[in-house]
Amino acid sequence: MAPRDASAVTEVVRTGSLAARPVGYRQRWRHVDKSVFLWLFLIGVLLVLVINPLARLFWVSLQHVDTGALTLENYVTAYGRWRYLEALVNSLVLGLSVAVVCTLFGVPMAWAVSRTDMPGKGLVWAAILGTFIVPSYLGAVAWILLAGPNAGWLNRAYMWLTGAAAGPFNIYSMTGLVLIVAAYSFPYMFVFTRSALDMISSEMEDAASTLGAGILRTTLRVTLPLTLPAILAAIIVVFLEAIALFGAPALIALPGRFQVITTMLWQFFEFPPKVQVAAAYSMPLLAITVGLFWLQRRLTGRKGYVAMTGKGGERRPVRLGKWRWVMLGYCLFVTSLSFFLPMVVVLQAAFAKAWGRGFSLDNLTLHNVRFVLVDQPLTKAATLHTFVYGATAAAIALALALCIAYIVQRRLVPFGNALSFLAMAPFVIPGIVLAIGFYAAYTQPPLLLYGTAWILILAFATRFLPIAYANSDAAIRGINPELEDAVRILGGGRLMAIRRVVMPLLKRALAGAFILVFIPATRELSAAIFLYTTGTQVLSVLLFDKSDEGNFEILASIGLILVVITVALVMLGFRLVGRDFMLRRTSA
Amino acid sequence: MTKLTLRNVSRTFGSVVAVDDFSLALAQGEFVALLGPSGCGKTTTLRMIAGLLDPSAGTIEMDGEVISSPGSSLPPEKRGMSMIFQSYAIWPNMTVAENVAFGLQVRRVSRAETRTKVEQILDVVQMRHLRDRYPAELSGGQQQRVALARAIVVQPAVLLLDEPLSNLDANLREEMRYEIRRLHDEFHITTVYVTHDQAEAMVTSDRIAVMNQGRVEQVDEPRALYARPRTRFVAGFIGRTNFLDGEVRDGEVAFDRFAIGLEQFAEAPALSGRVSFSLRPQSIRLLRQRPPASSGSSAIPGHVVQRAYLGEHWDYVVRPADSGLQLRVTARPHEVFEVGETVWLEVDPRQMAHIQ
């Protein structure tokens, strides 16, 4: 056997005696991993989607309206009037009130579902999932039907019961707006608090009870404080959600004759659009959001609380006795506000000849839904657009997120952290601010996208890129890099490794991520409203546009179609990924 | 004929030097193990050979052509090598047969030939009956065999193995050592085998490169490595040993309270000043009586300090008379001495390896 041959075996490298041949350009080129060009291309795409709109937003806010010269005049205009400042204050009031109401709604429900023997948990859970599925602007439409002055169902019920001449409820008020926004934001509070509660073992509570504390005392002194970081984080999230929301405030505040930041921005865009002022005016929104998200990260990043890391340990439900029915009543009350009552009135209106005529068989009709889906070319096109734009945006976001997560995880480029930061950055940019940035960046050459569907698609893709990125990142972390090394060493190249090994292994996770982006993309309103043009309407925009006409049967039908689309996607997600897929905390 | 040459290869990660001035040449068909404790840079070296990492300095050549140099390396897929990973890296989305066939498909081997080759190699590793299973349905040992088959079937220019047996249980590990050597004897593929287990390296390899803290300590055949370790680290890492420190003076090597004539040492001309030796416990004989003076061996009086019976052999600790040294001695089961008993240690100085 040759290798044992002494002369071969004892050969030792005489270092330096046999100089290595110099490496020529040809060989250098042969040595280059060609996939590097794909990574460079992706970085370019990220620049277009994230950096350029933001840079343009800042730039435009400093540009003179007519001359384009550098000026602070826009800021003076934006903050020079009491009316404009009042809108800022209103947004803060709205955000804080919503945070308080969400805490009152979400925390007791989370505790009841996670830690007690309350009956009907499945029903409560389903209703919360249902709340996630109803877009908040549809909720606003429903609440106009429920608590509009005089004609609203609740007012009519009150008048019928008491014989009074007028009902007490007026949804077109700050109180009304807070209620609606809170009703559609409290699920965040619920999910955050619940996942924190799920990590606390009963032993910690037992430790308190053995020292003589009762249930109430234990809960208030031990359990809740342990979940405090999660609750604070959720408060920040719902606050930010509330101040960045466009649909519900526009439907409620404008008829109620008050303004918030987002409706004010909308007004700056009325013809002729004052982009420069809008850009300047959006800066506080951006600053608050970035600042609070930073704070939120610090809160959840702190490891001081064992409850966040301590798993295991036995978990027993707290026995509530007869109070469990009270608890269930409370849960059903909250979900009635957010889900049951709105869905009933939306369904009624969607299938009614005239919603005001109430629940009777001769008032039933399929005409509205037919009108939206079949008869009216505009709404028919919008339905198609909703699907196509949403799916395209989800595909783009996912492809981009996947590639970025991959090159960052595999350290294929030296500045990976910067890329991952860029991919997550849209998470802290309110949709409406992003839209203004896109408008500022892409209404003129070289990239004239305004007026095409692409500006909507790219804006959606950018907005939901963080969802796609967080999911892709988690999925790729689960793949041992040696699986790809094995492909390469056998002659396969990196792209083949991705195609033959990485993609097949990621299929399920990616299907889930796709749906998680697709769902919000089909109902997105706050960016779409600034970027659509005639011919590129989507359902959400149409629903908002038609709200002027007061044709609530059509509005309800459009809303219902959106809900049906979402439900179908959620069901698909459940089948592909499992029950938990929508309510995981991946992004926060 | 030289197949693979590593010339002054170094690799740093930040300020950490993982591999430091590593040079090694492998002959065509040779099996070399990189042996060393964890963190000694052996896996880093292997990944540089594979092209999965670039060296920070030095070059790697295959068939006389530079394939790795700082800043410009031939990508792994163009090297015609194969590698077996610590995790096996069997693709979970493909069956056993698909895993094995992959490398052939990439090389555009015809369908019929691929089929035949896959069957053949699965026979060699005794996995043919499991050809349509998915990896999740296989045991660790079976996955290991698939990894071997997948790597060998393409007849690679160089085969790289990264701690391939470390995830197996002890019995299987012993079986697979012989399996790997058997496959090498059958296919004669130039092989680099990374391990921290000296027994694995000894069973499988033609030569072993012992690494420590990024540097090569010694490259030798297994027997030479054991019998003539050249550094303290190698002597201590490969098997058990006694270290003896002495000084050369007046034609003798003086140790603690005893001395041995310089002319008896194999490396006599090279010895001067302070010197250290490694002496294996098996190389010392224990005797009740002073042995007759013979050419070559020395006798030292001493007494037994400690003993342990391990079934296959005795472990004694013996202290030479008046000396501070304690020497470990391995004796056969029937060579029984009591603690405190006076004995003679018979030592052959030619078996004492001079170490740095």
The β-bridge relationship of strands B158-162 and B190-195 is: parallel
Please return the burial class of A79, using the count of CB atoms within 10 Å of its CB with bins 0-12, 13-18 and 19+: middle
Return the residue in B3, B65, B106, B134 with the most chain A beta carbons within 10 A, the one to mutate for interface testing. B106
CA distance A204 to A381: 57
Question: Is the omega angle on the peptide bond into residue A446 within 30 degrees of 0, that is, cis?
Answer: yes
What domain range is A245 assigned to?
62-118+168-304
- Which chain B residues touch A482 with a CB distance below 8 Å? 85-87, 89
The rounded radius of gyration (Å) of the Cα atoms in chain B is 25
**Residues A490, B25: C-beta atoms closer than 8 Å:** no
Give the predicted TM-score (pTM) of the model.
0.78
Please return the burial class of A206, using the count of CB atoms within 10 Å of its CB with bins 0-12, 13-18 and 19+: middle
For residues A397 and A465, the answer to whether their CB atoms sit within 8 Å is yes
DSSP state of A80: S
For residues A168 and A191, the answer to whether their CB atoms sit within 8 Å is no
**Residues B79, A15: C-beta atoms closer than 8 Å:** no
DSSP state of A452: S
Q: What is the domain-level CATH number for residue A212?
A: 1.10.3720.10
- Is residue A193 a part of any domain in this protein? yes
For residues A518 and A468, the answer to whether their CB atoms sit within 8 Å is no
- For the stretch A273-321, pLDDT in tens is 888 888 899 998 899 988 888 888 777 665 444 444 444 556 678 888 8
Tokens of residue B139, six digits: 């045991």
**Residues A486, B85: C-beta atoms closer than 8 Å:** yes
pLDDT bucket at B124, cuts 50 / 70 / 90 = confident
- Which chain B residues touch A489 with a CB distance below 8 Å? 50-52, 76-77, 79, 81-83, 160
- Is residue A233 a part of any domain in this protein? yes
- For the stretch B199-229, pLDDT in tens is 899 999 999 999 999 999 999 999 989 988 9
Tokens of residue A300, six digits: 């959840």
Question: Is the omega angle on the peptide bond into residue A272 within 30 degrees of 0, that is, cis?
Answer: yes
Please, what is the Cα angle at A186 between A469 and A322, to 5 degrees?
130
- For the stretch A53-77, pLDDT in tens is 999 999 989 988 777 788 888 888 8
- Which chain B residues touch A21 with a CB distance below 8 Å? 65-66
Which residue stretches of A163-302 are H helix? 174-197, 202-210, 215-218, 224-244, 247-253, 261-268, 275-301
Amino acid symbol at A518? F
With the CA atoms of A141, A142, A143 and A146 taken in that order, what torsion angle do they form, in degrees rounded to the nearest 10?
130
The β-bridge relationship of strands B65-69 and B16-27 is: unpaired
Query: For the ranges A78-87, A91-100, B248-257, B333-342, which has the lowest average pLDDT?
Result: B248-257
The β-bridge relationship of strands B82-84 and B158-162 is: parallel
For residues A328 and A120, the answer to whether their CB atoms sit within 8 Å is yes
Any idea which residue has 């002369």 for tokens?
A: A7
CA distance B246 to B261: 12
pLDDT for the residue numbered B185: 92
What sign results for the dihedral spanned by CA atoms B122, B124, B128, B129? negative
DSSP string, A110-124: HHHHHHB--S-HHHH
- Is residue A68 a part of any domain in this protein? yes
pLDDT for the residue numbered B19: 93
CA distance B152 to B192: 13
Q: How far is CA A162 from CA A169, A170, B14, B165, in A?
A: 14, 17, 79, 83
3-state secondary structure of A529: helix
- Is residue A74 a part of any domain in this protein? yes
Which chain A residue has its CA at the smallest distance from B190's CA? A3
Nearest to B89 among A28, A30, A480 (CB): A480
- Is residue A369 a part of any domain in this protein? no
Return the residue in B30, B60, B186, B205 with the most chain A beta carbons within 10 A, the one to mutate for interface testing. B30
For residues A460 and A435, the answer to whether their CB atoms sit within 8 Å is no
Which chain B residue has its CA at the smallest distance from A504's CA? B93
Half-sphere exposure of B142 (CA within 13 A, CB side): 16
Q: Tally helices (H) and strands (E) across chain A.
A: 31, 0
- Is residue A281 a part of any domain in this protein? yes
Nearest-CA distance B269 → chain A (Å): 22
CA distance B148 to A440: 59
pLDDT for the residue numbered A4: 41
Q: How many domains does chain A have?
A: 1
Residues of chain A with pLDDT under 70: 1-24, 26-28, 30-35, 201, 213, 300-315, 578-588
For residues B355 and B232, the answer to whether their CB atoms sit within 8 Å is yes
Nearest-CA distance B75 → chain A (Å): 6
pLDDT for the residue numbered A385: 92
Q: How many CB pairs under 8 A join A and B?
A: 127
**Residues A490, B206: C-beta atoms closer than 8 Å:** no
**Residues A489, B92: C-beta atoms closer than 8 Å:** no
Please, what is the Cα angle at A474 between A468 and A478, to 5 degrees?
140
Which chain B residue has its CA at the smallest distance from A505's CA? B93
Nearest to B27 among A8, A21, A501 (CB): A8
Nearest to A482 among B29, B89, B103 (CB): B89
**Residues A501, B79: C-beta atoms closer than 8 Å:** no
CA distance B132 to B14: 45
**Residues A31, B92: C-beta atoms closer than 8 Å:** no
- Which chain A residues touch B30 with a CB distance below 8 Å? 3, 8-9
DSSP state of A317: P
Nearest-CA distance B78 → chain A (Å): 6
- Which chain A residues touch B6 with a CB distance below 8 Å? 13
pLDDT for the residue numbered A588: 30
**Residues A492, B107: C-beta atoms closer than 8 Å:** no
- Which chain B residues touch A12 with a CB distance below 8 Å? 23, 25, 219
- Which chain B residues touch A2 with a CB distance below 8 Å? 27-29, 188
**Residues B85, A13: C-beta atoms closer than 8 Å:** no
Half-sphere exposure of A545 (CA within 13 A, CB side): 16
3-state secondary structure of A309: helix
Please name the residues in contact with B176: beta carbons below 8 A apart, sequence gap of 6 or more: B141, B144, B164, B165, B168
Share of chain B above pLDDT 70, in %: 99
Which chain B residue has its CA at the smallest distance from A4's CA? B206
**A92, A112, A94: which is closest to A102 by C-alpha?**
A94
Share of chain B above pLDDT 90, in %: 48
Return the residue in A489, A501, A503, A507 with the most chain B beta carbons within 10 A, the one to mutate for interface testing. A489
- Which chain B residues touch A4 with a CB distance below 8 Å? 206
Three-state secondary structure along A392-431? HHHHHHHHHHHHHHHHHHCCCCCCHHHHHHHHHHHHHCCH
With the CA atoms of A406, A411, A414 and A417 taken in that order, what torsion angle do they form, in degrees rounded to the nearest 10?
60
B314 has which bridge partners?
Answer: B309, B331
DSSP state of A10: T
**Residues B72, A501: C-beta atoms closer than 8 Å:** no
Three-state secondary structure along chain B? CEEEEEEEEEEEECCEEEEEEEEEEEECCCEEEEECCCCCCHHHHHHHHHCCCCCCEEEEEECCEEEEECCEECCHHHCCCEEECCCCCCCCCCCHHHHHHHHHHHCCCCHHHHHHHHHHHHHHCCCHHHCCCCHHHCCHHHHHHHHHHHHHCCCCCEEEEECCCCCCCHHHHHHHHHHHHHHHHHHCCEEEEEECCHHHHHHHCCEEEEEECCEEEEEECHHHHHHCCCCHHHHHHCCCCEEEEEEEECCEEEECCEEEEHHHCCCHHHCCCEEEEEECHHHEEEECCCCCCCCCCEEEEEEEEEEEECCCCEEEEEEECCCCCCEEEEECCCCCCCCCCEEEEEECHHHCEEEC
DSSP state of A198: T
pLDDT for the residue numbered B219: 94
- For residue A23, count other CB atoms closer than 10 A to its CB: 17
- Is residue A283 a part of any domain in this protein? yes
Q: How far is CA B106 from CA A497, A503, B79, B109, B145, in A?
A: 11, 18, 13, 8, 21
For residues B187 and B180, the answer to whether their CB atoms sit within 8 Å is no
**The pLDDT of residue B6 is above 60:** yes
**The pLDDT of residue B130 is above 90:** yes
Nearest-CA distance B192 → chain A (Å): 13
**Residues B66, A27: C-beta atoms closer than 8 Å:** yes
- Is residue A25 a part of any domain in this protein? no
Nearest to A31 among B5, B30, B72 (CB): B72
ipTM of this predicted structure: 0.82
Nearest-CA distance A472 → chain B (Å): 19
